[in-house]
Amino acid sequence: MIELRHGENGVMHQSFSGDVYNSAVYLKRCFDNVECSIVTAVGQDALSDEMLNTFHKADLNTELVFKHPTKHAGLYIIKIDDKGERSFTYWRSDAAARTIVNFLNDDVLSKFKSGDMFFFSGISLAVIEPEARPLFWQKLEQLKQAGVILVFDPNYRARMWHSEADSKEAFNRAFGLAQIALPGIEDLEQLYGLHTGIDVIKFCQSFDIEEVIVKDGPNAVLSLANNQIEKHEITPCENVVDTTSAGDAFNGVYLGARINEYSIAKSIALAAQAANITVQHPGAIAPKQAFMSDMSALLNT
């Protein structure tokens, strides 16, 4: 999406953002050996062209970015409070990305099947037009049968859903298909009334999920794999400027590390460091040089 962010003296800063895109950027920065494709639809307007160019600059494969003939890119404004917490105002009802399932024919799906993982989120589900979701589930089932690992982060945004019942139905279906889940306690607390990491783990155990990583802001991360629950202490950031993309950075770096066969503990350590660096900068995407300068030492150990 097009991101507008309040700056000093009433100036608005324009960039591009989106939870799955953010994760892809951070994954690619830390693990350049991983080919990372973004799947979305944009318009044929100037900002959509600029967005596509931004994908290229991030070294993301854009073969699966489609151009809708009449729709355009969605837009949101982000506002940060004095504690670095964010709030959003969206304009996305006519966004091209809502039509993405229409582009996923058999030829396109065959390209997905050559990949290792397919990552989607609760925001991805909310954006898709409701009448297209049954077809989306069919596509995911085909990918899973072809051996592609499905990864789901609930990333719940209540205002994007028609009702709580609709979101629960979609999330339950997603959890039922996912082999890796990356939930945050805050998201599932709102939707399912789950208050602790153990609550989330128990909830996920009711599905056939192979690997669960539970994020809890600056607090310890819990993992579930091979029926073993482990607690991973992390060092919270003391200089929080903007929490917008902390979870996205965590997701991208965690998945990149796992693709490269790092242990869960090492992958979480790298992901937590990425999140810490990200929250020290305004906007969803931290400056590359500053980000990599702080990440390089841990990546090389």
Instruction: Give the domain CATH number at 184.
Output: 3.40.1190.20
Separation of alpha carbons 296 and 300, rounded Å: 6
Sign of the CA dihedral 187, 193, 194, 196? positive
Residue 84 domain-assigned (yes or no): no
- 4 found inside a domain: no
- Give the burial string for 40-52 (b: 16+ CB within 10 Å, else e): bbbbeeeebeebb
The stretches in the chain having pLDDT less than 50 are none
Structural domain tally of the chain? Answer: 1
pLDDT of residue 271: 97
7 within domain boundaries: no
The Cα 22–Cα 35 span in angstroms is 15
Question: First-to-last CA distance in the chain?
Answer: 35
The string of pLDDT tens digits covering residues 200-255 is 999 999 999 999 999 998 899 999 999 999 999 999 888 888 888 999 999 999 99
Q: Phi then psi for 240, rounded to 5 degrees?
A: -85, 120
Torsion of CA 48, 53, 58, 59, to 10 degrees: 120
CA nearest 49: which of 73, 71, 20, 29? 73
88 in a structural domain: no
Q: Give the model's pLDDT for residue 10.
A: 78
In a domain, 75, yes or no: no
DSSP 123: H
Strand order in the sheet with 149-153: 117-121, 149-153, 180-181, 211-214, 221-225, 228-232
Whether 289 maps to a domain, the answer reads yes
Structural domain harbouring 111 = 18-38+98-299
Q: Is residue 259 part of a domain?
A: yes
Whether residue 213 lies inside any domain: the answer is: yes
The answer to whether 201 touches 252, Cβ cutoff 8 Å, is: no
